[in-house]
Amino acid sequence: MAWVKNTAKYKYSYHFTWLGRPFIQFPQDMVVLQEIIWKVKPDLIIETGIAHGGGLIFYASMLDLLGLDGKVLGIDIEIRPHNKDAILKHPMFKHIMMIEGSSVDKTVISRVHELAKNKGRVMVILDSSHTSNHVLAELRAYSPLVRSGSYVVVLDTLVEELPDDFFPDRPWRKGNSPKTAVSKFLKNNKRFVVDKSIEDKLLITVAPGGFLKCVKDP
């Protein structure tokens, strides 16, 4: 935790790109995400929170390397024009779809479920607003699309373990974080378990307790 605190002031996670697009993640998490994609071989990866598009490009490139005709669906309440333009022009866009709107809006959720229909393997990565209520709503909305053997990855559960003043301009903090959402979700959903083996080998991750493996079909 000391490492995370000390590197945050240098915006460590902002230093990396993937195929030319900023991907605001720890490299350690990027490595394990590709391991999961290799294992699951998803037909559809849903990512909430697009930002600069590095995540979409990363996941799309993994599908491309696997030779899969899969898609990555990105959802964001605001896709800034310069980011959208860069994504549209990227060679990996052939694997990408985007929806502009809130990931917890009923219309958006309905559209995502429609796009996921008849997809064999779906993987979900949550990385938009990190308040507990928002993440819990996302978990309830998109976890039904995930089948046994695949994952829902809840990023930035680390918020729960950081000082209250760590995000002075954000609403999330200890007690109101993705990790508290995961805790509430798992109390009433026995289809998912925390895959501790992932964070145990990573040692440094933004998602402790956030790698949720589906162990039972809907």
Q: What is the mean pLDDT of each run of 10 residues along the chain (218 residues)?
A: 75 92 95 97 98 98 94 97 98 98 98 94 97 98 98 96 76 90 97 96 94 96
Q: How high is the pLDDT of residue 3?
A: 75
Can you tell me whether residue 212 is helix, strand or coil? strand
Q: Mind giving me the DSSP string for 53-68? A: SHHHHHHHHHHHHTT-
Q: How high is the pLDDT of residue 211?
A: 98
Q: How high is the pLDDT of residue 1?
A: 67
Q: Where are the beta strands (DSSP E) in the chain?
A: 17-18, 21-22, 44-48, 71-76, 96-100, 122-126, 151-154, 192-194, 211-214
Query: Can you say whether residue 53 is alpha, beta or left, with left for phi > 0 and alpha for psi between -120 and 50 degrees?
Result: left
Please give the domain boundaries of the chain with CATH numbers for all domains: 2-214 (3.40.50.150)
Burial class (CB in 10 A: 0-12, 13-18, 19+), 134: buried
pLDDT in tens, 20-56: 999 999 999 999 999 999 999 999 999 999 999 999 9
